[in-house]
Amino acid sequence: MTVPLLMVLTMGVMYAAGIYLMLDRSLTRVLLGFLLVGNATNLLLILAAGRPGGPPLTDGSDSGTDGMLDPLPQALILTAIVISFGLTAFLLAMIYRSWRFVRDESLQDDLEDM
């Protein structure tokens, strides 16, 4: 199985940028980091699905299966999209609530923790 190098590099950059953004104090950047990590995970699942550009129905001689490609990666991607949508809605509600009470989107350190 050959993996497209450009997709692997894109996925790695998205993971790195997402983790970097999640470590910031700004809640908006944390949200963008979660979105980038979620999209990079979707790319990972696409890469794990198999050969790109292959037909969904085959004659069964080359794949060793009964003539169909595995539909599980597509189901996992759809589930990951729904989960990332729910997480995005939750984080947006948390950012809005923080903005309403504090009028600042960045998190502050507690004096007791220092």
pTM: 0.77
CB atoms within 10 A of CB 84: 17
Q: At what angle do helices 72-102 and 27-48 cross, to 10 degrees?
A: 180
Look at residue 21 in the predicted model and tell me its pLDDT.
Answer: 95
5-52+70-102 maps to CATH 1.10.287: yes
Look at residue 99 in the predicted model and tell me its pLDDT.
Answer: 84
pLDDT (tens place) for every residue of the chain, 114 residues total: 567 888 899 999 999 999 999 998 888 899 999 999 999 999 998 888 776 666 666 666 655 556 566 778 888 899 999 999 999 999 899 888 888 888 776 667 667 766
Helix (H, G, I), strand (E, B) or coil at 76: helix
- Calpha distance 70→36 (Å, rounded): 26
